[in-house]
Chains A and B, each alone.
Chain A
């Protein structure tokens, strides 16, 4: 089979040329950020690093890190590197507390991002002859917009379905002969089950490939999805802070995701000490965006724990590969594709007048994440009928939905009933671990 790439000159560039390209881009980008982002300039000044100290990628470790907290502190414009009039887009994701992360894009940034998604689609066999059904959420979430843009670049006939309404998804998939499906892996599994319930066999649809990301999944889930939908399932990785999906993508080898190294410089560090680790070690992924204009983060700590591999890939791409995230170095959970921090839940509770006595229960039942929050009730809310309690539960549930963007099931429980081990409450019980999912 002839190998195809979306941008072969980049994707198959010799490793030493990638290094050279990254050296040049990094020197230029650090100067650009220093000159245009006072927030990062302060961090560099405090660390005693000047742009002159950065002569290539081997000097990367001299630069200060950016963390999620910095994004909150700099919200909304503090890390913006260009005039707003040069920006064409905002996307957003949840932050650690009330404030969301907002990312800005110039047209150049949107193009770069969509190119990355186009590379992922082509790596999955996408061509101008394909019908690409995008059922990631559209809107502030980057999933829909990213794959939509990538699909246009490849020239696929794009079906902008957004998420939900499974009956309609299936009707379009069957009637309009979708060949590529883009969504979260759990939604793909759900579509597969629904197809089966409706009496369809895997060979009844025209799907050949699926691009599934935005949440943790397992090899076992991949095989299930491939079987139930009759397609080949490809993983994709990304984060809004860097652009969105497409920071890294899988090729036909299905053995790690190629990082788009012409745009993103990757490191693995020890999450405790912050020391860079050699390729092949398990550690936290840190990314430096090399040519973004509006929101160019340098040394952004993802909190995703991964292993990198420089091993040659038979697909011909020379970009370094990363494993699926093997875990997190913070307490962020990914539930139904949405980032959730316990601190957000705490913020809602405090806002609504509750003491922060709560427990989060996450599981995956029939390939769908369940999300329950137990909250100790205010003794004043309990008398002799259930109605006050159920009304309070509903109210809290709505407040949670507004903050998190997904709907948890809120249960008010008796005061002091949430188990405290050694005085410290266990805040999160994530039973997805039992399925081998790296959470």
Chain B
């Protein structure tokens, strides 16, 4: 069920980000969600895109260092308290969220959020049992 996230290693040097955004643009890939983890030395640029494998290939051919990881995507009503509910469920079952970020585009009614946890399957099971809608790869195309 989990969705694919493309992570790109970015050295803190001029022009590095341009290479990344250009090669994704040139491959005709849409970015649906993104976040950046940064240290003093480097950053990790994380993307949810319409075609992760194609994005990886395009990025690698322009010299980027890329890895694909599985993350959990949830689709929740765009209203106060929705995210709190998800976070509370995970907390109750002692599932740590390493990081999370929201999708850039939102549908009329729903917001979509990416969650990174240690055990995707366990998190997905618990969230489903508690009535949270999970995202699949195909949902990304439809947002």
Contacts from A to B (Cβ < 8 Å): 379, 382-386, 389-390, 393, 411, 413-417
Cβ–Cβ < 8 Å partners of A379 in chain B: 65, 67
B65 A411 Cβ-Cβ under 8 A: no
Instruction: Give min CB distance, B104 to chain A, whole Å.
Output: 18
Main secondary structure of the interface of B (DSSP, over half): strand
Q: Which of B35-43, B49-57, B89-97, B127-135 contacts A (4 or more CB under 8 A)?
A: B35-43
A384 B5 Cβ-Cβ under 8 A: yes
Known: A414-B65, A415-B65. A385 touches B39 (CB 8 A): no
Cβ–Cβ < 8 Å partners of B5 in chain A: 384
A414 B11 Cβ-Cβ under 8 A: yes
What 1/0 mask marks residues of chain B from 50 to 77 whose CB sits below 8 Å from any chain A CB? 0000000000000111010101000000
Q: Besides the contacts A384-B7, A386-B42, what 15 more A-B pairs have beta carbons closer than 8 Å?
A: A379-B65, A379-B67, A382-B7, A382-B67, A384-B5, A384-B116, A385-B99, A385-B116, A386-B37, A393-B41, A411-B41, A414-B9, A414-B11, A414-B65, A416-B63
Interfacial residues of chain B within 9-60, with CB under 8 A of chain A in the complex = 9, 11, 37-39, 41-42, 44, 46
A383 B65 Cβ-Cβ under 8 A: no
B41 A383 Cβ-Cβ under 8 A: no
Cβ–Cβ < 8 Å partners of A416 in chain B: 63
Chain A residue with the shortest CB-CB distance to B5 = A384
A selection of 13 A-B contacts at a CB cut-off of 8 Å is A379-B67, A382-B65, A383-B67, A383-B69, A384-B37, A384-B44, A385-B44, A386-B38, A386-B44, A393-B41, A414-B11, A414-B65, A417-B63
Instruction: Give min CB distance, A357 to chain B, whole Å.
Output: 13
Give the residue among A383, A384, A385, A390 with the most B Cβ atoms within 10 A.
A384
Cβ–Cβ < 8 Å partners of B46 in chain A: 384
Q: How far is the CA of A384 from the CA of B116 in the complex (A)?
A: 9
Q: How far is the CA of A82 from the CA of B65 in the complex (A)?
A: 58
